[in-house]
Structures are given as structure tokens and as C-alpha cells.
């Protein structure tokens, strides 16, 4: 049985009880600013939680606090992690008739205003530093990647489409999105980034972050010769099988190798949602590596999750639920940060950006629906109910971030300065 780490609470000491009372007070004030109702076990509502006349039909998302005492203690221990861990433990849930992402969306839309300004001064006391073991050294990167991507190929296959692309799809916005399959939209994304990198017949391509091989296969079908590197042995094994099944072994070389170990010269370098796993400390080495590996006249194309520069500066040193439970060592950059490090460390410059964050919200919505529908199959792989709630929260949390515009995703073309 693959079990998720238990989430026990230590016996509440007096300081924790005091902080739990404070956490409840702050949450009550937040709920006065955010159109979400919170219902206690006795049927009463937390805080004033008035229904807003501005909401359609006076209805708005509702959560049930099933174990409010335990939930407030989790918030007291760590506000940034306690909300997600409270969901994992079953301390709260979306009320019947309310979708989890609909609960999280109003908070994501009001990140800058939800917490009353006087309470923001407490941030320095609740933010925790990123644990040193999550640093993306060569050893640490391998450990961080294995913690997520080597969970099980069968797990990912249960909720991804046939392409096995675990990154944002790109929908055709000239047509109704609901009429487009996820597979179609994922292949559109792959070919869009290959176009950004100018990949064609005879192109030598380096892919950093293999996934399960779809991009390498599609590049090879264009007549390119592809070297693709990953730190996930499970991904590499399945990607090799898929490349062989496609009859492209002579055009695709899959290596279990750190990007820092790669040598050679490539006409195109492509990387889809891998920069988030590099870590700010290693961005200079990462971009210097791209510069070193890129042949004269070559092109780099990255697909990157992004946040605003202000939010990046506010969160870059803190440790959150996603880093603890989903992507250890992860950090989302801003477009400005990418531009600054490339300018300071390399001769590379950003020359084109295509953002499509709302497509990621739709991608995540479909992944979550498929994951929940496939839960009996996933459970047979050995995953427990805490894992189910963890991944449901992860997918809904990210969906809300992209739907609110707090997060974005973009394909970024990078070339050498003229």
C-alpha cells in the first residue's frame, strides 16, 4: 500500500491554542472579504459570512468545517500549509453542490486584499524557509523529481490523455473549447512550441525534461534528430517503449541525465514546464547551459508557468503546501525574472511570448474530473484516501490559480542577441 504521510496534530499547548484562536479570528475577517460561506458542524456560519446580493441568485460557494478545532490548530502550526493539509485530513470539504475549485477561486482572485492589512505584519512570523534538503543540487534534483514523477506511470496514465503530456494544453480559441479533445489540444501545444524553436527536417534538438516522450516523437516525425534528458527513470523507460513503438529509435536518444551534464551543440533546445524545477539558485547555471549548448543561429523555446514579478518576490523564499506535498524544490518564476537572468548571465534574450493561462485552467479541470472518475483504478495501484484528497486539492488549487490569473503559462522564444 502506497500511503500518504499521516497528518497528526501534536497535543495543543497554550501558545498553539492562542494562535489557533487568532487563526480563527483572521479567517472570519477574510470571509467577510471573500464571497465564500463556511458552515460549522452545528449549522452556524463562521463569521458574518453574509450572502452577497451581487452573486447570481444569491448563491455562492460553501465549505463545511467538519473538524474546526483541528483545522484552526493546523492553521496555527503553519498558515500556508495548514489549509491544504486540513483538506487532506478531512477537516474541511466543499459542501454538496459546490465544486472545490469554485471554493478556491474567490481566494485566488483576492490574494492581495483578502487578508486585512494589519495582519500582514505577522507574515514574517509564519513564513518558513525552504528546507535545505530541497535544494536542486544534482543529487537533490534527482530526489525531488523522483518524489513526484516516479510515483507510478500507471497513476499518470489514469488521468492524462493518450499523449501523456503533463503540462498545459493549447486550445483553439476560434472554436468552442468543449468540443476539442484534450489529446488534440496537447498536440497543438507540442507543435506550437516546436514551431517556436523552428524544428524541422535535419534539425538537431535537445529536449530538457522528457516527460513520456510525446514531444520527442513529434519532433522526430518532423525529421529532426532528438536528444532528450530526464531525471525520472520511470518516465525514461516508458518513453523508450513509446519511441520504439513509433519506429523512431534511430532519431531519438533518451538519457537519464541532469541538464548540467549535457554536452554538444544543438540547433534547437526545447523544454516544457521544467524550469519550475530548477530553483532560483540554479537559474544562472541553467541559462548559461542553454547558451553553451545552443548552436550559432539556434533557438530556445520554453513553456513555463509564470506569476507576476511582485508575487514572485513575495513568495520566492517561503515554503508552501505545493513544495511540501507535490513539487519539492519547485519555484515558479516571473517573466521579468527570466529576462533579467538571461540578460545578466548570457547572450540570450527573450524575443517572443505567447501566454495562455486560461487553457491551463481548462486542462486542470479535465485532469481532475478524470482523476476522480478513475479513482477506483488508482486506488488499486496502492494509493490511499489521503492521497486522493491531496491530489484533488492540488489539481483544484492550481486550476483556481490559472482561472484567477494569479498564475499564467507561456511559450517563450529565446535567441541570441543580435
Read off the pLDDT of residues 99-145 as tens digits, 9 standing for 90 and up: 999 999 999 998 777 676 665 555 555 566 677 777 878 887 888 78
Overall residue count recorded for the chain in this entry: 418
Verify whether residue 398 is a known catalytic residue: yes
**Average pLDDT of 385-406?**
97
For position 1, what pLDDT does the model report? Answer: 43
- Starting at the edge strand that comes first in sequence, how are the strands of the sheet with 37-39 ordered? 37-39, 62-65, 92-94
Structure confidence at residue 6 as a pLDDT band (50, 70, 90):
very low
pLDDT higher than 60, residue 156: yes
Least confident of 156-170, 263-277, 316-330, 353-367: 316-330
**Average pLDDT of 354-373?**
98
Residue 83 dihedral angles phi and psi, to the nearest 5°: -65, -50
Pairing, β 407-416 against β 348-355: antiparallel
C-alpha cell at 55: 452573486
| 173 CB-near residues (< 8 Å, 6+ apart) | none
For position 262, what pLDDT does the model report? Answer: 97
pLDDT higher than 50, residue 177: yes
State the residue for C-alpha cell 494562535: 19
Structure confidence at residue 55 as a pLDDT band (50, 70, 90):
low
Structure confidence at residue 32 as a pLDDT band (50, 70, 90):
confident
* Better-predicted residue by pLDDT, 73 or 119: 73
Query: Roughly how many angstroms between the first and final C-alpha of the chain, as a whole number?
Result: 56
**Average pLDDT of 241-252?**
98
* Better-predicted residue by pLDDT, 144 or 346: 346
Decide: 335 and 412 in contact? Cβ < 8 Å. Answer: yes
Least confident of 206-215, 297-306, 315-324: 315-324
For position 56, what pLDDT does the model report? Answer: 54
What is the CATH topology of the domain spanning 134-416?
A: Rossmann fold (3.40.50)
For position 53, what pLDDT does the model report? Answer: 42
For position 54, what pLDDT does the model report? Answer: 47
**Average pLDDT of 249-274?**
97
For position 312, what pLDDT does the model report? Answer: 94
Which of 34, 238, 396, 398 does the annotation list as catalytic? 398
For position 140, what pLDDT does the model report? Answer: 78
Calculate the CA 417 to chain-centre distance.
31
- CB burial string 243-263: b at 16+ within 10 A, e below: beebebeebbebeebbbeebe
Say whether pTM exceeds 0.85: yes
For position 129, what pLDDT does the model report? Answer: 66
d(C-alpha 242, C-alpha 237), whole Å: 9
Decide: 343 and 350 in contact? Cβ < 8 Å. Answer: no
Structure confidence at residue 41 as a pLDDT band (50, 70, 90):
very high
State the residue for C-alpha cell 531519438: 252
For position 15, what pLDDT does the model report? Answer: 57
pLDDT higher than 70, residue 285: yes
Decide: 252 and 222 in contact? Cβ < 8 Å. Answer: no
**Average pLDDT of 66-85?**
91
For position 269, what pLDDT does the model report? Answer: 98
Least confident of 11-15, 94-98, 134-138, 272-276: 11-15
| 222 CB-near residues (< 8 Å, 6+ apart) | 194, 199, 200, 201, 203
d(C-alpha 227, C-alpha 253), whole Å: 5
For position 29, what pLDDT does the model report? Answer: 87
- Starting at the edge strand that comes first in sequence, how are the strands of the sheet with 252-256 ordered? 252-256, 225-230, 204-208, 266-272, 294-307, 407-416, 348-355
d(C-alpha 111, C-alpha 120), whole Å: 12
Mapping DSSP onto H, E and C, the string for the chain reads CECCCCCCCCCCCHHHHHHHHHHHHHHHHHHCCCCCEEECCCCCECCCCCCCCCCHHHCCCEEEECCHHHHHHHHHHCHHHHHHHHHHHCCEEECCCCCHHHHHHHHHHCCCCCCCHHHHCCHHHHCCECCHHHCCCHHHHHHHHHHHHCCCHHHHHHHCCCCCCCCCCCCCCCCCHHHCCHHHHHHHHHHHHHHHCCCCCCCEEEEECCCCCHHHHHHHHCCCEEEEEECCHHHHHHHHHHHHHCCCCCCEEEEECCHHHCCCCEEEEEEECCHHHCCHHHHHHHHHHHHHHEEEEEEEEEEEEEECHHHHHHHCCECCHHHHHCCCCCCCCCHHHHHHHHHHHCCEEEEEEEECHHHHHHHHHHHHHHHHHCHHHHHCCCECHHHHHHHHHHHHHHHHHHHHCCEEEEEEEEEECC
**What's the mean per-residue pLDDT of the chain?**
90
From-to residues of CATH 3.40.50.150 in the chain: 134-416
Q: What is the pLDDT of residues 184-237, one digit of tens each?
A: 999 999 999 999 999 999 999 999 999 999 999 999 999 999 999 999 999 999
Amino acid at each position: 500500500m502506497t500511503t500518504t504521510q499521516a497528518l497528526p496534530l501534536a497535543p495543543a499547548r497554550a501558545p498553539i491554542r492562542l494562535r489557533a484562536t487568532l487563526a480563527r479570528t483572521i479567517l472570519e475577517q477574510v470571509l467577510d472579504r471573500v464571497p465564500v460561506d463556511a458552515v460549522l458542524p452545528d449549522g452556524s456560519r463562521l463569521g458574518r459570512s453574509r450572502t452577497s446580493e451581487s452573486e447570481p441568485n444569491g448563491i455562492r460557494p460553501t465549505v463545511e468545517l467538519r473538524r474546526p478545532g483541528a483545522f484552526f490548530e493546523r492553521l496555527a502550526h503553519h498558515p500556508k500549509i495548514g489549509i491544504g493539509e486540513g483538506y487532506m485530513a478531512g477537516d474541511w470539504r466543499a459542501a454538496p453542490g459546490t465544486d472545490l475549485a469554485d471554493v478556491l477561486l474567490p481566494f485566488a482572485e483576492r490574494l492581495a486584499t483578502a487578508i486585512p492589512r494589519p495582519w500582514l505584519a505577522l507574515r514574517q512570523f509564519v513564513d518558513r524557509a525552504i528546507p535545505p534538503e530541497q535544494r536542486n543540487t544534482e543529487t537533490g534534483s534527482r530526489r525531488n523529481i523522483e518524489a513526484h514523477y516516479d510515483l507510478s506511470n500507471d497513476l499518470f496514465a489514469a488521468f492524462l490523455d493518450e499523449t501523456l503530456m503533463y503540462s498545459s494544453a493549447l486550445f483553439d480559441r476560434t472554436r468552442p473549447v468543449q468540443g476539442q479533445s484534450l489529446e488534440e489540444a496537447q498536440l497543438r501545444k507540442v507543435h506550437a512550441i516546436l514551431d517556436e524553436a523552428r524544428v524541422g527536417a535535419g534539425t538537431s534538438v535537445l529536449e530538457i525534461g522528457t516527460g513520456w516522450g510525446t514531444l520527442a516523437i513529434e519532433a522526430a516525425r518532423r525529421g529532426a534528430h532528438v536528444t532528450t534528458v530526464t531525471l525520472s527513470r520511470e518516465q525514461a523507460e516508458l518513453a523508450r517503449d513509446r519511441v520504439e513503438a513509433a519506429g523512431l529509435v534511430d532519431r531519438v536518444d533518451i538519457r537519464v541525465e541532469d541538464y548540467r551534464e549535457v554536452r554538444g551543440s544543438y540547433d534547437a533546445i526545447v523544454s516544457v514546464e521544467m524550469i519550475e524545477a530548477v530553483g532560483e539558485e540554479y537559474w544562472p547555471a541553467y541559462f548559461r547551459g542553454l547558451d553553451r549548448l545552443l548552436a550559432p543561429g539556434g533557438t530556445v523555446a520554453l513553456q513555463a508557468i509564470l506569476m507576476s514579478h511582485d508575487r514572485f518576490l513575495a513568495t520566492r523564499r517561503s515554503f508552501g503546501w505545493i513544495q511540501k506535498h507535490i513539487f519539492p524544490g519547485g519555484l515558479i518564476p516571473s517573466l521579468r525574472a527570466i529576462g533579467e537572468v538571461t540578460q545578466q548571465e548570457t547572450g540570450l534574450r527573450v524575443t517572443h511570448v505567447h501566454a495562455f493561462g486560461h487553457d491551463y485552467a481548462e486542462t486542470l479541470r479535465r485532469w481532475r474530473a478524470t482523476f476522480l472518475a478513475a479513482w477506483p483504478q488508482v486506488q488499486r495501484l496502492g494509493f490511499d484516501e489521503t492521497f486522493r484528497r491531496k491530489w484533488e486539492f492540488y489539481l483544484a488549487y492550481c486550476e483556481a490559480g490559472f482561472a484567477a490569473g494569479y498564475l499564467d503559462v507561456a511559450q517563450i522564444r529565446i535567441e541570441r542577441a543580435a
